Structure 1
Amino acid sequence: MKGEHPVGERLRFRVFGPLSVTVDGRAVPIGGARQRTVLALLLLNPGRIVPVDTLVDAVWNSAPPATARTQIAIVIAALRKALKAENVREDVIVTAHPGYALRAEGHLVDSLEFARLLKEAEAHAGGGRYAEAAARYDEAFGLWSGPAFAGVGGTVVEDEAARLEEHRLNAYDDATAVRLALGHHQTLVPELAALVREQPLRERSRYHLMLAQYRSGRRAEAMATYREAREQFIEELGMEPGPDLRELHDAILRDDPSLAPAPPAPGPAARSAPLVVPFELPPDIPGFTGRQHELDCLEGLFAGGERRHGPALGIITGIAGVGKTGLAVRWAHRAAAHFPDGRLFADLRGYDEEYEPTPAADVISRFLRSLGVPPEQLPPDVDDLVSMYRSVLAERRVLLVLDNVRSYAQIESLLPGSGGSVVLLTSREQLEELVAWPQNARVHLGVLPPAEAVDLLGRVVGEERVTAAPADAVRLAELCDRLPLALRIAAARLASKPHWTVGHLVSRLADERRRLDELSQGGAQVRASFELSYRYLPPQAALLYRRLGLLDVPDFAAWVGGALLDLDTLDAERLMESLVDAQFLDVVGVDATGQLRYRLQNLLRLYARERVYAEESEEEQRAARERVFSSFLTIAEEAYARDYGHHSGVLRCTAPRREIGAVQLDGLLDSPLEWLEAERLSLVAAVVQAARLGFDELAWGITASASVLFDTRNYLDDCRICAHAALDVCRETGNLRGQAAMLHELGAVEQAHRRLDTAHAHYARALELCGELGEATGQAVNLRNLSMLERFRGDLDTAMGRLETALEICRTAQDGPGEAFTLSGMAQIELERGNNADALKLAEEAVRLGGGNERGLAQALHRLGQVHLALGGHVQAEEAFLRVIELVRVKSDQVGLVYATLGLGESRLGAGDVEGAARTLSTALAEVAHIASPLVDGRVHLALAEARRRQGRIDEAREQIAAAHRAFATIEARRWTAQAEAALAALQEDSV
């Protein structure tokens, strides 16, 4: 909610450029052309009454409608309303006969401010205080952002805008005279040349250009400027240039001594010191490679043309060892020719292990001595020293490279106040107080791209050794995180040991426990560079950083930090952002749930792990990890419940769940499957780590809850990895419930790959364990799965017997969704037995029971559609499959969507809609590419082959059958292979 402004709050009215009004930095919306014209007229006469008739003439250009005065009143009311909406309580636009007035007292109107500054500048210039006058002129011209009243129409306003522009040009001429008096003739030449091209008939501007050219040693150019003027004046005006230009021309011809710049006014002794051109840059970095984009961004520091409002400023940020200094030095050497008055360099030691940060006063003193100021003339007072420093730089074009800056306070007094100098600094901090100019000169360095990292190795080691083992070189670059410091250390070790191969060093770095040791030998040490940054982290941020090293996850959201520290997620995010600012964390993007995701680079993760092992007890480490794993369980289990409606399979694990607030859960699980998708890689890594650390209940509980993702997105490899890791730890701890649950998951993976014997063994052992545990629901699930396998083998009686047992268990347990699944399976068996009426009855009952569970309902409807297909009820089948598609799309169930689209295509094919079927099956073919399921892939190709055959597109039909064969060949799908062979035979028969 907006706070109410006090009476003294000032508005800011801008007329130089697009007309605008702001309150406390917020724009006040001004409506259409009439409102802008009326406001412009009021601002042209601040504090004075503008008659209504004048406003009418301005708006309608002397052709007003009969309602003009009423419409002006409406416009005034709208302007007042816009101001009131921003809580401006005082009356800014007042009614005063015969019109209205804008009360400017206490507010900022840039035209009034411009006039005030010009008056002060003229007073300073009249008193010979040229530096003060120049500063006022610069401030005044800074108020202009474009032509006055840009975008406002009307003859009156346009005439006033032209008057103001003329006023600005006259003021610029006055300011130019002051700058010439200060000796700024060299920097004025390009500015004046541009102005003369735009305003070729302004004699005073051309006079100043000629004088600046002459004083800059460009006498011939000054003569050419006069000749151009004379030609233009005669051609366009029919007259010679005025007497001032002619006298200046004659004075230049005779080199009149009066044209020389006046001696400098008395002031600091530094102004009379001899000009010294220092070159203090360190040597260019040997073997420097890449970073072309960043170098191009920095080019804007000297390519921006004129600068009136201070020096250009570039900032290079990045983690320790990423090559900030190297880039700064490389660019400084490339740009040196653009800074004829000197190139200065200072290491401010913001992260030095042995020395305190360098005081700004020491740097300024050294820079002044480098620029020729005698030591005895340096003032002892710091403020006076800064003033002298800025005065010396004001008329020079110097490059200042400030390395290892830790804070804005450290360099605030080192920034020049004006002039053509450029500052380039490096820091591990973001230094948000600094504004880069131009904007793209704020460069954040990441690690090197793979090819450039390998190139850097070759430049130091030698191309032959690197090209002889390209795979090892790529691996070495990755083990060094492609961090330039680490790469140079590794390359230097290889260069110093010609008997080592690249592969030998790779083998030494492959062990994570030794990697930092290997990269921390000699003078340059990766560990030491991290330590210097780590020691300056705030305590809570340091605690979070080192605990992040306890996890093996590839990336993470802020809730993980909250779990590690047992904090609210927003507090954890604040700490994570501070680690981002300190270059300890990278932001890898925003996931599908809208959460920022962060990651640790490998070397920084290894250092974090070193710190947490050294600074925290094993109990603290275990508790932090357990909070993260139990948070994974809490959220994944809730995602499963929201998506599936219940937790099928063996009962829930007994691990404690970390409590997470309902609001946070709702924010994370707006789309449960999208959260699981976003966390997929981290979730798999968390399960594997939890299993390795002995958290058996957490490992199998997370896996069971993530099964909804593994199933609907067909992530079979992920499921296998998690289930195997959890099964192993459950066997080690004797956890029978966990073993049963994970055998069930592994059976599903094997079944999906059509390795039916292995799947049968897993389900059978899971069934046995559930019986020992008395887990009735788990028994029913595994009975259903075994029934499916036996149906695949053709043993329909055994399959039906298992389902009848499962049905009895579900009804006893009042497990409605489980009962629906079981009835669907029974319907399929009756269908295959040829008992279509019984199949229909069972399928309809399954649909009725599946209504409380959208995923179960979708599966029951799918079975019902298959039954209708078998019965020839193609319209009913299409209706069923369309309902399935609607349900699975809401759930983002990609596997279910492919099967339902296949069923829809088959329904349309059966109904004789061959074209519609072909389009639907083509859609299914595009969708199946997302789930990597050979079985459904082959089935879609087979159905599409039949559609192509009926269309008479025989060659395409053959291609589809061949594709189906290839898919079925990768799995045990004898039944479907036989169908593909039958389809091919039918196609050949048709051809005959």
Structure 2
Amino acid sequence: MDFSLLGPISVATGSGELALGPAKRRSVLALLLLQPNTTVPLEQLIDSLWEDEPPEHARTVVQGHVSRLRATLAGGGAEAYGIELATHGSAYLLRLPEELIDAHRFGELVALARPEAAPRDAVPLLREALGLWRGPALTGTVTSPPFAAAAHALEEQRLTATEALARAHGALGEHEQAAAILYTAAVNNPLREGMVADLMRALFRTGRQSDAMEWFHRTRRLLDEDLGVGPGARLKQAYEEILRAEEAGNAVAAAATPAADGPAGAAPRAARSGAEVPDRPVDPRVPAQAGSATGGHSGTPARTNGPPPVPHLLPRPPARFLGREQQLATLTTVPQSALPGESPLAVVTGPAGVGKTACAVQWAHTYAGAFPDGQLFADLRGFNEGAAAEPVEILRDFLLALGTPPERVPTSAQSASALFRSLVAGRRLLVVLDNAESSAQVRPLLPGGPHCATVVTSRSRLDGLVATDCARPVALQALGADEGVALLGAMLGAERVADDPDAARELVALCDGLPLALRAAAAQLTARPRWRLARLAAALRDERRRLALLSAEDTGVAAALRMSVARLSADDARLLSALAASADGHLNASVAAALAGSDPQRIQDGLDRLTEMHLVDEESTDVYTISTLTQLFARDEGPADGRGER
């Protein structure tokens, strides 16, 4: 299944194109494809579909179009491709592998091309990219400002790729091809001065000096008549370079004399063919790879004489790390079990405070030697205060760590992602992506090389990565009684725990076996060396004080749970608050529906989402548990922390 934005909006399958219906329905699909794997609010769809004041029934119209699109995609076999058009409250999300969108493939091909550094490879890449265009972008959508702006942005990318293709031909000495490519584009974009400047240079290098000069004067007249301005610096620079080259060529021709053993009238080759015009004035202070002829960049790092840098970005190993032997062993098997050509990927998941980051970092330090080309680490801030990290922000840090000069780092996530994959394709590299919010946030950050491994941690299961990228789930559960007591012993000293073993086991139970809670309890006892463990256990029995006691400055169970609940919709946050009223934390869909005052089918969907976020655990079919600490938090905080009500 292929989605097209670079021309008429269409969806192609093995049996033909799907019937998408009227312009507004195509426009809904186009807007979702322009923001794949991202929730698009209903209000944004309405604002984009109606240029004037939308009708009163606009919401119903959009909902109808979404419903028909969902049915059309399902009829075309979307599920087999990992495609889902989902509803999230008053927003919609089109989940799909972005490689199915022609605009995404176009961006990746352009980003991989290096017209100056590797022109012979760049030509087929750029030709393939431009071959994806089937007409003006977003043809068939409504004529509103948002779609006009999006179409203009895509067209700008096409022109940039056209200029890059011409530069690649020029670097190969194929100036006729460069001139032919630029001629048609310049005719259609006569005021694009950089393109005209490149065309002038290409024409001059083919011996068509008069045509090059005519383009300058033609563009100068258009600028004056249409905009009331004169030529810009790049256009004047090309004009002056050609004039200087002509004068130099004439001077050489006038001074030339026939060679003693050559034919009469023979002139030096430079005088016969015309002096070569450089892409920019030669400045000994500027490195040869500092930029391109059009003032842009290809997104590739400058060449250096030394070996590429080897980044070591892992945080310090976790202190007093114990247990998790099974999960560490599973992580070790992931690179070994990957099929040929695959880039191994593991997803460490579990509830807040269970120690996902510690487990991933511990494994990364243990096996860092298996990745001699470096280890990258990034906190994606998926469950922190504020907004999650944008992929382009993380990619910039990665590219800089890999030696890419700052001015060569692409500004778009697609290009930066393509360059990242290109740089690490042949390296043995480990990437640790901590605290991910969603699969869509992670995908641009995944390396593509078969010798690169990635470990992702998240409170969400990230089923999308499992479906589309064959990620290996590694689930972390709360510690058992013996493991929890061992952690307390490592933090407090074995003798102190041995003096009060029953209280130690009670502390583990009161902390729900969460390493974060146990470490916070250990911090309380470390600060009070005269306290016996039984005294803290007695204090924690008071449910009104328990969450407050299991906090230490900027860390604690309540803070961690707050970040999880903040990512819920308002409906799911209310459901969690209702589940907190369960007497023993064990329930099924019918009990949950009774507590929430809703029908079981709707509650089932909410339970599934809470389970995916590890706020509820599904022990078996229709048997759910909610931990005591989560119940206490939900009772204290109430339902208003959901994203929908903030």
Bigger share in helix: 1
Tell me: CA distance 1:314–1:598, structure 2 relative to 1, closer, same or farther (3 Å): same
- Secondary structure class of the residue paired with 1:425: strand
Tell me: CA distance 1:306–1:607, structure 2 relative to 1, closer, same or farther (3 Å): closer
Using CA pairs below 8 Å that are at least 6 residues apart, which structure has the higher relative contact order? Answer: 2
Structure 1: how far apart are the matches of 2:468 and 2:612? 20
Aligned amino acid, residue 495 of structure 2: E
- Of 416, 435, 453, 1:385 maps to 416
Q: Does the 8 Å contact 2:301/2:404 carry over to 1?
A: yes
Q: Does the 8 Å contact 1:393/1:419 carry over to 2?
A: no
- Of 352, 369, 393, 1:337 maps to 369
Q: Does the 8 Å contact 2:308/2:403 carry over to 1?
A: yes
Alignment of 1:969-988 (within 5 A): none
Query: Could you say which residue in structure 2 is the equivalent of 1:175?
Result: none
Q: Does the 8 Å contact 1:314/1:436 carry over to 2?
A: no
- Secondary structure class of the residue paired with 2:377: strand
- Of 610, 619, 627, 1:579 maps to 610
Deviations 1:471-503 (A, max 9, x none): 111001100000010000001211221111111
- Secondary structure class of the residue paired with 1:405: coil
- Of 341, 347, 359, 1:327 maps to 359
Q: Does the 8 Å contact 2:13/2:76 carry over to 1?
A: no
Tell me: CA distance 1:438–1:288, structure 2 relative to 1, closer, same or farther (3 Å): farther
Deviations 1:13-50 (A, max 9, x none): xxxxxxxxxxxxxxxxxxxxxxxxxxxxxxxxxxxxxx
- Of 598, 603, 607, 2:624 maps to 598
- Of 520, 541, 545, 1:510 maps to 541
Structure 2: how far apart are the matches of 1:548 and 1:412? 34
Structure 1: how far apart are the matches of 2:361 and 2:618? 27
Q: Does the 8 Å contact 2:581/2:595 carry over to 1?
A: no
Structure 2: how far apart are the matches of 1:580 and 1:343? 32
Deviations 1:274-306 (A, max 9, x none): 410111101111111111111111002332376
Tell me: CA distance 1:498–1:384, structure 2 relative to 1, closer, same or farther (3 Å): same
Q: Does the 8 Å contact 2:414/2:444 carry over to 1?
A: no
Q: Does the 8 Å contact 1:342/1:397 carry over to 2?
A: yes
Alignment of 1:704-743 (within 5 A): none
Q: Does the 8 Å contact 2:587/2:625 carry over to 1?
A: yes
- Of 294, 308, 330, 2:327 maps to 294
Aligned amino acid, residue 426 of structure 1: T
| Pairwise CA distance, 1:584 | 0.6
- Of 477, 487, 501, 1:456 maps to 487
- Secondary structure class of the residue paired with 1:373: coil
| Pairwise CA distance, 1:130 | 9.8
| Pairwise CA distance, 1:380 | 3.2
2:570 equivalent to 1:544: no
Query: Could you say which residue in structure 1 is the equivalent of 2:346?
Result: 314
Deviations 1:235-262 (A, max 9, x none): xxxxxxxxxxxxxxxxxxxxxxxxxxxx
Deviations 1:562-583 (A, max 9, x none): 1122222111111111110111
- Secondary structure class of the residue paired with 2:464: coil
Structure 1: how far apart are the matches of 2:364 and 2:123? 30
| Pairwise CA distance, 1:536 | 1.4
Query: Could you say which residue in structure 2 is the equivalent of 1:588?
Result: 619
- Of 383, 386, 394, 1:351 maps to 383
Q: Does the 8 Å contact 2:432/2:455 carry over to 1?
A: yes
Alignment of 1:755-834 (within 5 A): none
Q: TM-score, normalised by structure 2?
A: 0.52
Structure 1: how far apart are the matches of 2:124 and 2:314? 34
Alignment of 1:592-631 (within 5 A): 596-612=622-638
2:597 equivalent to 1:566: yes
Q: TM-score, normalised by structure 1?
A: 0.34
| Pairwise CA distance, 1:386 | 2.1
Alignment of 1:200-239 (within 5 A): none
State which structure, 1 or 2, has the greater radius of gyration over its C-alpha atoms: 1
Deviations 1:650-697 (A, max 9, x none): xxxxxxxxxxxxxxxxxxxxxxxxxxxxxxxxxxxxxxxxxxxxxxxx
Query: Could you say which residue in structure 2 is the equivalent of 1:402?
Result: 433
Deviations 1:433-481 (A, max 9, x none): 1028996831111101211111011101111101111111100110000
| Pairwise CA distance, 1:518 | 0.8
Structure 2: how far apart are the matches of 1:412 and 1:426? 13
- Secondary structure class of the residue paired with 1:316: strand
- Of 284, 292, 315, 1:282 maps to 315
Structure 2: how far apart are the matches of 1:129 and 1:359? 31
- Secondary structure class of the residue paired with 1:507: helix
- Secondary structure class of the residue paired with 1:572: helix
Structure 2: how far apart are the matches of 1:388 and 1:132? 17
Aligned amino acid, residue 608 of structure 1: A
- Secondary structure class of the residue paired with 1:435: helix
Structure 2: how far apart are the matches of 1:279 and 1:87? 46
Query: Could you say which residue in structure 2 is the equivalent of 1:372?
Result: 403
Structure 2: how far apart are the matches of 1:286 and 1:386? 33
Query: Could you say which residue in structure 1 is the equivalent of 2:458?
Result: 427
| Pairwise CA distance, 1:413 | 1.1
Q: Does the 8 Å contact 2:379/2:434 carry over to 1?
A: yes
Q: Does the 8 Å contact 1:549/1:612 carry over to 2?
A: no
Tell me: CA distance 1:423–1:597, structure 2 relative to 1, closer, same or farther (3 Å): same
Tell me: CA distance 1:382–1:481, structure 2 relative to 1, closer, same or farther (3 Å): closer
| Pairwise CA distance, 1:131 | 11
- Secondary structure class of the residue paired with 2:457: strand
Structure 2: how far apart are the matches of 1:380 and 1:504? 56
Tell me: CA distance 1:132–1:324, structure 2 relative to 1, closer, same or farther (3 Å): farther
Aligned amino acid, residue 495 of structure 1: T
How many residues get paired? 360
| Pairwise CA distance, 1:132 | 7.5
Q: Does the 8 Å contact 1:320/1:530 carry over to 2?
A: yes
Tell me: CA distance 1:475–1:381, structure 2 relative to 1, closer, same or farther (3 Å): closer
Deviations 1:541-600 (A, max 9, x none): 11110111122134111001211222221111111111101111011224xxxxx11011
- Of 507, 512, 519, 2:550 maps to 519
Q: Does the 8 Å contact 1:314/1:437 carry over to 2?
A: no
Q: Does the 8 Å contact 1:393/1:416 carry over to 2?
A: yes
Q: Does the 8 Å contact 1:307/1:420 carry over to 2?
A: no
Query: Could you say which residue in structure 1 is the equivalent of 2:30?
Result: none
Identity across aligned pairs (percent)?
A: 36
2:507 equivalent to 1:476: yes
Q: Does the 8 Å contact 2:391/2:445 carry over to 1?
A: yes
Tell me: CA distance 1:268–1:572, structure 2 relative to 1, closer, same or farther (3 Å): closer
Structure 1: how far apart are the matches of 2:549 and 2:338? 48
Tell me: CA distance 1:433–1:615, structure 2 relative to 1, closer, same or farther (3 Å): closer
Aligned amino acid, residue 324 of structure 1: K
Aligned amino acid, residue 601 of structure 1: S
Tell me: CA distance 1:433–1:131, structure 2 relative to 1, closer, same or farther (3 Å): farther
Aligned amino acid, residue 335 of structure 1: Y
Tell me: CA distance 1:8–1:539, structure 2 relative to 1, closer, same or farther (3 Å): closer
| Pairwise CA distance, 1:382 | 3.6
List alignment gaps of at least 5 residues for structure 2.
1-11, 17-74, 78-118, 129-291, 293-297
Deviations 1:388-435 (A, max 9, x none): 211111121111111110012212211123331111111111111102
List alignment gaps of at least 5 residues for structure 1.
1-6, 12-85, 89-126, 137-265, 591-595, 617-992
- Secondary structure class of the residue paired with 2:548: helix
